[in-house]
Chains A and B, each alone.
Chain A
Amino acid sequence: MIQSLANWILSFDILSGLGSSLVWGLSLFIVAALIFVFVAVNAIVLVYVERKVSAFMQVRLGPMRVGKFGVLQTVADALKLLQKEDIIPEKADKVLFTIGPWTILVASVATFAAIPFSDTLLAANMNIGLFYVISISSIVVLGIVMAGWASNNKWSLYGAMRSAAQIISYEIPVGITLVAVVAVVGSLNLQTIIQSQGGVGNLFHWIPIPLPNWYIFHSPFLFLAAFVYMIGATAEINRTPFDIPESESELVAGFMTEFSGLRWALFFLSEYANATLVAFLVSIVFLGGWQSPFASYSGAQAALLVISLVAIMWTVFVKVKIGRLSMYPLGISILTTMAAWLFPGFAIWLASPGLFWIVLKAASIIFLLMWFRWTFPRLRVDQLMYVSWKVILPISLINLMGVAVWMWLSGEIQF
């Protein structure tokens, strides 16, 4: 993307005299700025969406006063945060206190350099993309520990220590889960991972429901691995069932306690950037990235898909009708999602179908994260460690072995 941007700039006769190295630097800066703008705008939108989602799940309305349906609420909040006084506590470690939030932000924004938004829309196509994303996102814990230690506050330090323990614990099952996918692909390049998920195949290789060749449908083990990864990733980004680093009922605000104004806004920005990153990573690794789910169906396959979808929906509808809940949930949520995506989605789809599909998938995952957040209660510290070391880690190890066995059985690899 950077090289193509540089080539595009150099294609103008007036600008061709600038020199290739200068144009390269300029396009580098432009791409970095684009990524940062994406992260910032994304955070503003997601905060609004999160507040609305939480409100609807709690039978409230959420922000309604600023703008129509409160759409400008987070813009006003962001402007307020920018105006706030820059407070550094007297006994705080000034240098670390200043660097901490920026470290977290840089770590979470830098990961987006490797995320492929479409087949061409990619800042840096590296052959170790997945490894890069995992390792860079781990720097976040460094920033959290810096912020917590520098605040010179017991709540902050507790939050930072919890965060360090939690992220280090959950990195291991998350890494092993992703290794299972890498074992199937045979590459760490994110673009290669996505391209290998093209086409249509049977569900779990043998069940005759034609589905896209996404890795979530590759085998029961990877199906389970997707959920294991979701759990581990939720813990890694400190979202609610695992938000003990900033558990507001115990630790005030955890490592963010002493921060205010712009620095606090940076924490918020990186929190939502991390959530978005996880959503993109799930959609890339398990849901086929920018691959369209309807791209390469034959007529018979499409008919079979529609029939099976209708059958699944019908069973779901009947099942829900038995309970006290009304039966609309699935249908209405699908319809509202489609309606909400119709106009912006169509524009994005016209510009780049790959971008449309990956953003749609990531948005669904983000909604899932929000759904988690406003449903589940927070875990205790010992429960958190129990889940990590005694449940998630064994399952991910079994997954790794099971995927290998599955590939041998299905004939993908031969000895």
Chain B
Amino acid sequence: MSYFNNISNAISTLVDGMKVTMGYFVRPREHVTLQYPDEVWPVPSRNIGVGELDAYNTIRSKLTVNINDCIGCRACERACPVNCITIDAYKGGPEEDLGTTSNGTKIKLLVANFTIDMSECMYCDLCTPPCPEDCIVMTPDYQFISNDNLKTEVTPEERWRDRDLLIYQFSKVPEEERQRLKTEAEEAAQAKALAMAAKKAEAEKAAADKAAAEEAAIAEGVSSQTSPTQTESSPAQDVIITAHPANTEASMETANSVQDVTEAEELTQVNISMDTIAPGISLEDKTDLPESENISGEEEITRINIPMDTITASITQEEKVELPENENNSGEGEDSEDRTTEERENG
């Protein structure tokens, strides 16, 4: 009997299955396929709990810059926690007109290099509030598709691991012009560093002469053990104060604005001590140091500034909104920019 039960069971279950498939077959409009390049899934919009602005209620994805409005203030570069933004801005000539932004601010710096490395970006949106011109924004474009990739000479096999394709250049300055400006700035920095080194060597020589004279004087009289260490350390401290006024100010500001940022202070202190070691060890060999080391040291300094900027900027949004309208603020920004360039040249 189970033989016939098996047969009838098989037939009924097969018919059931065929009913199901036919039911789907005659309703092809219920398909789940998304024909990707033609159809795109809608970008989800949700409240992530930061204010009422529309920009905060959409998914943050590709970071984009309206380069026409950029004044090269480096606020975003300093704000970035992962250093994915790189900006090279140079002073234009006195008679050169770089135009104005859409807010009416006069552009004083030529932004020759503005790259965003989207493979490093962590979509934290910390770079957009500091921008005085509101020109750096997080867009909801999650696809990262462009025909530009086809122009690069990358074979399909290695395209998937070529990270350079995710570094976006926003500056409209042509490549040769960018290189020329870079080499010029480097030469100028080198010349200045040479001059500084010569100055320091003279100062040291004078100090050494003085010490020698003192030693000679002491040799005649009573000898003291502490004097040579003092002569070595004192010029180095002078160098710190003159070369990094911004750092000291920054640490002061953080201490004033936020009381809890002890870590940042410690970090800045650590950084300063590291910097003091560098000029302290070999002042004469300073010019022989490779440029890359100088630059890396510079980057570390700017990284330390981040917590201060971001915290002050994000605490009060009203101030942030007023920032671009206030000319004094932007002027200060440029001043700080000048300071940082001086730092770089000095460092």
Contact, CB under 8 Å: B28 / A56 = yes
Contact, CB under 8 Å: B26 / A332 = yes
Contact, CB under 8 Å: A329 / B26 = yes
Contact, CB under 8 Å: A325 / B19 = yes
- A11 interfacial contact with B, CB 8 Å: no
Contact, CB under 8 Å: A374 / B31 = no
Pick from B7, B19, B22, B31: contact of A59, CB below 8 A.
Answer: B31
28 A-B contact pairs sorted by A residue (CB < 8 Å): A55-B31, A56-B25, A57-B21, A57-B22, A57-B24, A58-B24, A59-B30, A60-B32, A60-B33, A61-B28, A61-B31, A61-B33, A64-B33, A323-B19, A326-B27, A328-B27, A329-B22, A329-B26, A332-B26, A333-B25, A333-B26, A336-B26, A371-B21, A371-B22, A371-B25, A374-B21, A375-B17, A391-B7
Among A53, A336, A374, A375: residue with most chain B CB under 10 A: A375
Pick from A59, A323, A332, A391: contact of B32, CB below 8 A.
Answer: A59
> Smallest Cβ distance from A67 to chain B, in angstroms?
14
Instruction: Provide the residues of chain B in CB contact with A59, threshold 8 Å.
Output: 24, 30-32
Q: Give Cα distance in the complex from A59 to B29, angstroms.
A: 8
- A376 interfacial contact with B, CB 8 Å: yes
Instruction: Provide the residues of chain A in CB contact with B26, threshold 8 Å.
Output: 328-329, 332-333, 336
For A53, give the chain B residue with the smallest CB separation: B25
| Also in contact, A56 and B24, with CB within 8 A (given A61-B33, A371-B18, A376-B17) | yes
> Smallest Cβ distance from B16 to chain A, in angstroms?
10
Q: Give Cα distance in the complex from A376 to B27, angstroms.
A: 20
For A391, give the chain B residue with the smallest CB separation: B7
Q: Give Cα distance in the complex from A57 to B18, angstroms.
A: 10
Contact, CB under 8 Å: A57 / B25 = yes
> Smallest Cβ distance from B21 to chain A, in angstroms?
4
- Interface residue count for A (Cβ, 8 Å)? 24
Q: Which residues on B are within 8 Å of A, measured CB to CB?
A: 3, 7, 14, 17-28, 30-33, 35
Instruction: Provide the residues of chain A in CB contact with B3, threshold 8 Å.
Output: 390
Could you mark each residue 342-376 of chain A with 1 if its beta carbon is under 8 Å from any beta carbon of chain B, else 0? 00000000000000000000000000000110111
Q: Give Cα distance in the complex from A391 to B10, angstroms.
A: 11
> Smallest Cβ distance from A344 to chain B, in angstroms?
21
> Smallest Cβ distance from B39 to chain A, in angstroms?
11
> Smallest Cβ distance from A147 to chain B, in angstroms?
31
Q: For residues 18 through 75 of chain A, which have their beta carbon under 8 Å from a beta carbon of chain B?
A: 53, 55-61, 64
Instruction: Provide the residues of chain A in CB contact with B31, threshold 8 Å.
Output: 55-56, 59-61
Q: A61-B33, A328-B27, A375-B17 are in contact. List 11 more A-B contacts (CB 8 A).
A: A56-B31, A57-B21, A57-B24, A61-B31, A64-B33, A326-B27, A329-B23, A333-B26, A374-B21, A375-B14, A375-B20
For A395, give the chain B residue with the smallest CB separation: B7
Contact, CB under 8 Å: B22 / A333 = yes
**Ordered nearest first, which 10 A-B pairs have the shortest CB separation?**
A325-B23, A61-B33, A57-B21, A375-B21, A375-B17, A56-B28, A332-B26, A56-B25, A329-B26, A57-B25
Instruction: Provide the residues of chain B in CB contact with A323, threshold 8 Å.
Output: 19
Among A57, A332, A336, A371: residue with most chain B CB under 10 A: A57
Q: Give Cα distance in the complex from A326 to B19, angstroms.
A: 11
Instruction: Provide the residues of chain B in CB contact with A55, threshold 8 Å.
Output: 31
| Also in contact, A326 and B35, with CB within 8 A (given A371-B18, A376-B17, A391-B7) | no
Instruction: Provide the residues of chain A in CB contact with B21, threshold 8 Å.
Output: 57, 371, 374-375
> Smallest Cβ distance from A198 to chain B, in angstroms?
31
Instruction: Provide the residues of chain B in CB contact with A336, threshold 8 Å.
Output: 26
> Smallest Cβ distance from B36 to chain A, in angstroms?
11
Pick from B14, B22, B33: contact of A376, CB below 8 A.
Answer: B14
Q: Give Cα distance in the complex from A333 to B22, angstroms.
A: 9
Q: Give Cα distance in the complex from A326 to B3, angstroms.
A: 34
> Smallest Cβ distance from A55 to chain B, in angstroms?
8
> Smallest Cβ distance from B38 to chain A, in angstroms?
9
Q: Give Cα distance in the complex from A328 to B7, angstroms.
A: 30
> Smallest Cβ distance from A320 to chain B, in angstroms?
8
Instruction: Provide the residues of chain B in CB contact with A333, threshold 8 Å.
Output: 22, 25-26
Q: Give Cα distance in the complex from A333 to B30, angstroms.
A: 16
Instruction: Provide the residues of chain A in CB contact with B30, threshold 8 Å.
Output: 59
Contact, CB under 8 Å: B23 / A326 = yes
Q: Give Cα distance in the complex from A374 to B22, angstroms.
A: 10
> Smallest Cβ distance from A45 to chain B, in angstroms?
18
Q: Give Cα distance in the complex from A56 to B32, angstroms.
A: 10
For B13, give the chain A residue with the smallest CB separation: A376
Q: Give Cα distance in the complex from A390 to B7, angstroms.
A: 11
